[in-house]
Amino acid sequence: MPVLEIIGWLGSAVVVWSMMQQRILRLRFINLVGCLLQILYNGVLGVWPVVVLNVVLAAIQVVNLYRLLGSRHSEEAYEVLRVDPAGEYLHHLLTRHRADIERFTPGFRGPVPGGAAYLIVKGDETVGYVLLHDAGDGVAQIDLDHVVERYRDFTPGEFVFNASDILLEDGYRRVRTAPGVKEPYYGRIGFTQVGPAYELDLAHSR
């Protein structure tokens, strides 16, 4: 099979693969690669309508990637809301995401009585939530830190721990993560590993 034909088929396969992605950042990036391969393939063949179409699509993906990456750590992009740990909406989220929760936080057994819960919201969409309880001495012990798959390439949890003062306002001085979390991201947002968990001094993170 000629190299050019391989590029054409590969470009089509990459575009199709991109549409199967749930993570928004990954979808945008893979789709951009597919568009670039299609531009190369159809440009060599001189199929200009398809070239123009993919140039426009690639430009759209570049703009979208720029906006997504630009708002990745923006305090204006996300809002943190206190919610009732025993409330119906949180119960709905925990039920809907049960399989993912078991995958990434296998030790989670439900909200701790007397604990606290925080939603991470972008616009009108809930992108994640954090459940924790008071471990004493000003320590917030995280029971669950979950992000929906669409935003899993981002770190929205940092808006509970770093960007927002909500935990300081609630009387906490330090945060400790749940042990046994799969694929932890805490080292990237200022936490220090202490044994099997990670900890963050809230005052020093400001």
The string of pLDDT tens digits covering residues 194-206 is 888 899 999 765 5
CA–CA dist 193, 200 (Å, integer): 9
CB atoms within 10 A of CB 155: 18
Which residues touch 160 (CB under 8 Å, ≥6 apart)?
A: 80, 118, 120, 130, 166, 167
84 lies in the same domain as 178:
yes
Identify the pLDDT of residue 205. 59
Residue 130 lies in a domain: yes
Task: Determine the length of the chain.
Answer: 206
Residues 177, 136 share a domain: yes
Range of the domain at 144: 79-201
If asked whether residues 89 and 115 sit together in one domain, one would say yes
Residue 53, domain member (yes or no): yes
For residue 96, give the CATH number of its domain: 3.40.630.30
84 and 46 belong to one structural domain: no
pLDDT, position 153: 77
Contacts of residue 205, defined as CB under 8 A and 6 or more positions apart, other chains included, come to 161, 162, 190
Number of neighbouring beta carbons within 10 Å of residue 74 = 10
| Span 152-177, pLDDT tens digits | 877 777 778 876 789 999 999 999 99
The count of structural domains within the chain is 2
What pLDDT is recorded for position 76?
A: 63
84 and 172 part of one domain: yes
3-state secondary structure labels for all residues of 60-110: HHHHHHHHHHHCCCCCCCCEEEEECCCCHHHHHHHHHCHHHHHHHCCCCCC
Longest dimension (CA), the chain: 70
Question: Is the domain of 88 the same as that of 52?
Answer: no
Rounded mean pLDDT of 130-139?
95
92, 191: one domain: yes
Among 42, 70, 98, identify where a domain stops: 70
Asked if residue 51 and residue 84 are part of one domain, the reply reads no
Q: Which tokens sit at 27?
A: 């979808």
206 is a domain residue: no
User: Global pTM?
Assistant: 0.77
